[in-house]
Amino acid sequence: MDSTEGSAIFANHLRSHQAVIAELEAMGEQISLIGNVWISALQSGKKILFLGNGGSAADAQHLAAELVVRYRNNRKALAGIALTTDSSVLTAHGNDFGFDTVFARQIEALAVPGDVVVGISTSGTSKNVVAGLTAARDRGCITIAMTGQSGGLCNELADHCLKIPSNITAHIQECHILVGHVWCEMVEQDLTE
């Protein structure tokens, strides 16, 4: 591929990405509301638990790390846990019980009422994310879904569903991490004042 073709791909991707970002502006109130849900939970000594598959698993780990370590400022550690990182739990459960309930089992073990569970699924239909959100609701957790445009089954199970206005997986994931960073900044500013 020559540089002209690469530049054209970049320009097309950037234009498409910017169109989705522009639509996010109308979602500012919802984004702020969910950020405040995180803040309230953390102020009350609760945890934020994240789950997702593939790129969404990476986002879950990324956002948990921002809470535990830091986003922009040095401050006390905050309780963020990615349920995507323990290879022994993931493989033992997958082998013994199947992959569809791998997050639900961890919610059963780790979540308490008032914790926030963030299920990340670009389609909104990932079976194990749906099962994780269901288990979270059953345990009295606050459920948040991060999805694409349709919201899928996650939309029905979540107390709050951030539906990125796109059907393109890459743009949905780009927006998930952008909004996740906004929430981390909100948390950090509020809890370190």
pLDDT tens-digit series, residues 85-110: 999 999 999 999 999 999 999 999 99
Instruction: Examine the pLDDT at 52 and tell me if it is beyond 90.
Output: yes
Sign of CA dihedral 121, 144, 86, 72: positive
Number of domains in the chain: 1
The mean of the pLDDT values for the chain is 96
Instruction: Note the pLDDT tens digit of each residue in 169-187.
Output: 999 999 999 999 999 999 9
Closest alpha carbon to 134 in 145, 123, 150: 145
- Angstrom CA distances, 132 to 95, 108, 109, 119, 161, stand at 18, 9, 12, 7, 15
Question: What b/e sequence results for 2-24 when a residue is b if at least 16 CB atoms lie within 10 Å of its CB, and e otherwise?
Answer: eeeeeeeeeeeeeeebeebbeeb
- Give the pLDDT score at 193: 60
For residue 24, the domain's CATH number is 3.40.50.10490
Instruction: Note the pLDDT tens digit of each residue in 118-147.
Output: 999 999 999 999 999 999 999 999 999 999
Instruction: Examine the pLDDT at 70 and tell me if it is beyond 80.
Output: yes
- Give the pLDDT score at 48: 98
Instruction: Examine the pLDDT at 68 and tell me if it is beyond 80.
Output: yes
Domain that holds residue 171: 3-191
Q: How confident is the model at residue 59 (pLDDT cuts 50, 70, 90)?
A: very high
Sheet with 48-52: list strands edge to edge: 80-82, 48-52, 116-120, 142-147, 160-163
- Give the pLDDT score at 164: 98
Closest alpha carbon to 107 in 48, 155, 149, 147: 48
- Give the pLDDT score at 1: 78
Q: How far apart are CA 132 and CA 182, in angstroms?
A: 24
